[in-house]
């Protein structure tokens, strides 16, 4: 079971530079409105002057130190051809 104390303990582990984003997420849950969250987070839908790539560049933070990489394709056995 998740308790408030468990959540608070995990928050203590979050790097300081991620706190503004976390704060906006917490406020979104308090308000109960995803529309409010989109506007407060400055998503591209609410700010026509920003491009999608700018939005992604600002919010990808959790992957900055661990980029996503595609692994090798690997070798597959030859099977009977489909008819």
Q: What is the pTM of this model?
A: 0.35
pLDDT value of position 50: 67
Residue 44: what pLDDT?
45
How many CB atoms neighbour CB 41 within 10 A?
19
Q: What is the mean pLDDT of each run of 10 residues along the chain (83 residues)?
A: 89 90 83 55 53 74 73 85 81
Burial of 16 (0-12, 13-18, 19+ CB in 10 A): exposed
Contact 11, 22 (CB under 8 A): yes
């Amino acid at each position: 079971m998740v308790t408030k104390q468990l959540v608070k303990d995990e928050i203590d582990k979050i790097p300081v530079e991620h706190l503004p984003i976390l704060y906006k997420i917490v406020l979104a849950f308090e308000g109960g409105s995803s529309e409010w969250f989109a506007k407060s987070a400055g998503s591209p839908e609410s700010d026509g002057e920003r491009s999608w790539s700018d939005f992604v560049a600002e919010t990808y933070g959790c992957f900055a130190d661990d980029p996503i990489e595609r692994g090798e394709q690997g070798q597959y056995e030859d099977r009977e051809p489909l008819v």
